[in-house]
Structure 1
Amino acid sequence: MEYSILVVDDQPDNIKYISLLLKEMGLGKKVYSAPNGKIALGLAEKIMPDIILSDWEMPETNGLELLKTLKQSPKTKDIPFIMISAVKVDAKSMKESFDAGVHDYLKKPFDKLEFMARVSATLKLQGAYLKIKKNNDEIANQAQLISKQHDELKQLNKLKDKIFSIISHDVRSPLGTLDSLLQLFDDKRILNEQELRECTAMVRLELNKVQTLLDNLLYWAKSQLANMHDTKSNVDVYDITQEILNLFEDNTKKKKLTIHNKIDPDYIIYADKNMLSFVIRNLFANAIKYTLKEGNIFIDAEFMLDSIRVSIKDDGIGMNSETLENLFKDRTVDTQTGTSGEMGTGLGLVLCKDLIEQNGGSISVQSTLEEGSEFSFVIPYNT
């Protein structure tokens, strides 16, 4: 192996002699020299030698000062250092040198064979140290990778649990309705044209619910796996809201709700349409669920400096402080039953929060028990 060696001494003859010994050892191809610790410090930071051989007594910056400065730098602290001195040979000086981090110590005049043995042993020890350090770094990197994979696996398991929970609740409900409708045909009951038309409309509605839910679920799952591409486009906020209102028209009619879409028809933003639709749809479904018959739901939007704020407000049953505290927690929660017995998973708001935050926005809620709730979210946009 070819080593780079830095020799530091204020006496040129000493540098010449040490260089000859290193050449005799087969280590003379990359030998650098410096007359004092100050110059040696700059040179060491530049060439990063495999070993430093330094005199103690030198002008400007002595060997001990050089050693201490090198040990303070993360870049040079591991360079092996052999102190060579004719003056500082007492036990106290040697102890001070070893306390500062010197690897070995030679007294001048030194024996040729002893010099060669000390240098060779130091280089071998350094090689073993670097090998162990490399192995430790690899182990640390592997541990970090395993930890990262473990965290990703935990997130995937949480994702799986959420998906299964949604499927077991929100998908089974419309499928149960479909089963009940199809049972009418199994009972061989003769339906008139009007009844058949109504049943067909209900089947289509329930199928649309399942399709929409699965589309949203897949969209959200993709976002959680961080595989989404930039799908932003010009979005008409009023139109997208009206599409959602039409989707829930039967639900609002059953409860005789009055819907107030106060969004300006001219509101166009550059945003992710699917994300916007997903969030508004979930918040609107919640408002329907917790609004009493003949109640009101207000949907509004306003432009801010570099974002848009969308709010959905109802005059429904509202929430207590405990429910508000757990509303956006990242876990499955037992939600209160809707005003017409509607059931949910408690996950819809968690999914909304995830998507909004992934798009650099935030969601908030204000609610008073028996007076109603107002959900609002803010997302940045580019015009």
Structure 2
Amino acid sequence: MTLDITTLSLALFLVYLGNTFLALFLIWVQQRFPGCRLWVTAQALLTAGALLMLLRPYLEPVVIVAGNALLLSALLVFAHALWVFRLKRPFPRAIYFVLIPVVLSLFMVSNQNFALRALVFSVWAGLGTLFDAVLLLIQREPRSQQVRLLTAIPFGLASAASFFRAGGNMIPGIPVGSFEHPEGANGFYLLGAMLLSTVMLFGYFMMLSLKDQQTLHEKELQILKRNHQLWETNKAKDLFFSLVAHDLRGPIGGAARFARKHLLSKTEPQDDRFEALDTLTASLEKTNEFLEKLLWWSHAQLGAWEPHCLPVELNAALSQAVDWIKPLAAQKNISLRFPWNSLPTIETDADSLQRILGNLLSNAVKFSLPDREISLSVQENPDSWEIRVEDHGIGMDPKSLEALFKIEQKLSTHGTQGERGSGLGLILARTLALRLGGDLILSSQLGEGTTATLKLPKTRPQEADEAPPL
């Protein structure tokens, strides 16, 4: 089979030129995909290579080598575009160094016979198109399998044809012809290149279809993730409400029975009634504290609620929190070490800050042994302030520390002198910290103590973080 190379070269040039202009037009009308500019660049390189092949009889050998290098470079740029589109990660630019041996090998055989030149070009072309086909066939979106396969077919056929041509030029006795009039495998290869170039006219449309399939797949994953989060949230809320109902039923029911037995009884002595009234008042105060924390937490969960940020002096805020906790610390003979050095003024919500500091200090006292020390320290970072509350109490094991901020578990433990808590204090503190644009981080060692670190931004948060889900 003998073909006229001039006619084939002209046809290839026109097809590649049409592909390039069509792709440019689609980009101009906003029909794009990640890596589309690289795809058009590769098509432009194919067009330039086909033009130099068409003008081959009038060019110097070094220019002919450049034309072949352009055709092979296009395959690498196609791979770059597919890598960016399919893998969504930076392309390893070092791969472009493979063009050095490509150009050197083309230059070294430029004065050899046609069979050797065709062999070298075909091997490189086969490897390049195989790489492109593999990138297209990588399984990432199951629903796009058919489109990916159709897009990969031209590259796969071109790779098979290139290796077939390379094998044909290696076998002695098979006619190869010349570049102007190729025969055998070379003739079939060039004819196949012409047919495949027309198929690649639809390559850009296939990539657009792949982008649509990929976008749809990502949206489905987002919907599934959001549904799972909603399911987890509803499950946690159901459990949380059952825990709240249990925590409220006990004190309120107990208070009612206690009042009926000790306060409404006509035989109860007056002194015993006053003692019972004091016990009942303490129980109701604990219940009120629990409800207040619950109200603050639910308030912080509302998306419409925003902190009221104003200038707050850290010295004054810390002093107020320490003064509030001193009576509780005195009951255990716990000393408070406080940084009396001058601290700056920051913009934050004063009420929220006091809530956070009060919870941290009360927990530190609750879980500290008598005659110990609680220390407060302030550290400046480039973009935030860190307020640390460190105690030397009973500490926590990793399992308890992990469950501490999970509302559905609502970890509630007794203090070193039997103090009871609601289990909401630290959950509320971290929720408020996040709404202030900061965070609350705890570290603890069982038997050694706990350190709570409150991070507050130096600048007023433009948009407060959302509170963590239930």
Question: By the TM > 0.5 criterion, same fold?
Answer: yes
Q: Of residues 209, 226, 235 in structure 2, which corresponds to 1:149?
A: 226
TM-fit CA distance, 1:137: 1.4
Letter in 1 for 2:458: N
Aligned residues: 334
Aligned equivalents of 1:138, 1:277: Cα separation in 2 = 46
Residues 170 and 49 of structure 1: CA distance in aligned 2, closer, same or farther (over 3 Å)? same
Unpaired stretches in structure 2, ≥5 consecutive residues: 1-5, 24-36, 84-113, 130-153, 163-178, 182-186, 460-470
CA contact (8 A) 2:411 2:423 kept: yes
Task: Report the RMSD for the aligned CA atoms in angstroms.
Answer: 5.5
1:133 aligns with 2:206: no
TM-fit CA distance, 1:239: 5.3
Residues 219 and 166 of structure 1: CA distance in aligned 2, closer, same or farther (over 3 Å)? farther
CA contact (8 A) 2:390 2:452 kept: yes
1:209 aligns with 2:237: no
Q: Of residues 354, 360, 364 in structure 1, which corresponds to 2:443?
A: 364
Residues 334 and 278 of structure 1: CA distance in aligned 2, closer, same or farther (over 3 Å)? same
CA contact (8 A) 1:260 1:297 kept: yes
Q: Of residues 121, 139, 145 in structure 1, which corresponds to 2:199?
A: 121
CA contact (8 A) 1:287 1:313 kept: yes
TM-fit CA distance, 1:379: 2.5
Residues 18 and 72 of structure 1: CA distance in aligned 2, closer, same or farther (over 3 Å)? closer
The answer for the alignment partner of 1:311 in structure 2 is 389
More strand by share: 1
Q: After superposition, where does 1:177-326 map in structure 2 within 5 Å?
A: 178-180=255-257, 183=260, 187=264, 195=274, 198=278, 202=282, 205-206=285-286, 208-219=288-299, 221=301, 229=306, 231-235=308-312, 236-238=316-318, 240-241=320-321, 244-245=324-325, 252=328, 256-258=331-333, 260=335, 262-263=337-338, 264=340, 269-270=345-346, 271-290=348-367, 295-296=370-371, 298-306=373-381, 307-311=385-389, 313=391, 318-319=394-395, 323-326=396-399
TM-fit CA distance, 1:133: 1.6
Aligned equivalents of 2:39, 2:196: Cα separation in 1 = 25
Q: Which has the higher contact order (CA 8 A, sep 6+)?
A: 2
The answer for the alignment partner of 1:83 in structure 2 is none
Write out per-residue CA displacement over residues 288-335 of structure 1, whole angstroms, 9 at most, x where no aligned residue.
54456xx35755433333424342536x6x24xxx4333420353866
Aligned equivalents of 2:343, 2:336: Cα separation in 1 = 13
CA contact (8 A) 1:302 1:309 kept: yes
Write out per-residue CA displacement over residues 221-273 of structure 1, whole angstroms, 9 at most, x where no aligned residue.
45xx8x76454434432454157539xx6xx49x9444655544976642444
CA contact (8 A) 1:312 1:374 kept: yes
Aligned equivalents of 1:343, 1:288: Cα separation in 2 = 12
The answer for the alignment partner of 2:3 in structure 1 is none
The answer for the alignment partner of 1:71 in structure 2 is 75
CA contact (8 A) 1:259 1:296 kept: yes
Unpaired stretches in structure 1, ≥5 consecutive residues: 1-12, 33-43, 79-86
Partner of 1:301, secondary structure, is: strand
Identity of aligned residues (%): 15
The answer for the alignment partner of 1:7 in structure 2 is none
Partner of 2:376, secondary structure, is: strand
Aligned equivalents of 2:126, 2:323: Cα separation in 1 = 78
CA contact (8 A) 1:262 1:299 kept: yes
CA contact (8 A) 1:237 1:265 kept: no
Letter in 2 for 1:286: N
TM-fit CA distance, 1:209: 0.9
Write out per-residue CA displacement over residues 111-170 of structure 1, whole angstroms, 9 at most, x where no aligned residue.
xx999865433324x256325423431243224423542563366357536744762565
The answer for the alignment partner of 1:377 in structure 2 is 453
CA contact (8 A) 1:234 1:268 kept: no
TM-score by length of 1: 0.59
Deviates more, 1:49-58 or 1:130-139: 49-58
More helix by share: 2
Partner of 1:368, secondary structure, is: coil
Partner of 2:389, secondary structure, is: strand
Aligned equivalents of 2:287, 2:420: Cα separation in 1 = 18
Partner of 2:458, secondary structure, is: coil
Letter in 1 for 2:401: F
TM-fit CA distance, 1:219: 4.8
Aligned equivalents of 1:269, 1:176: Cα separation in 2 = 47
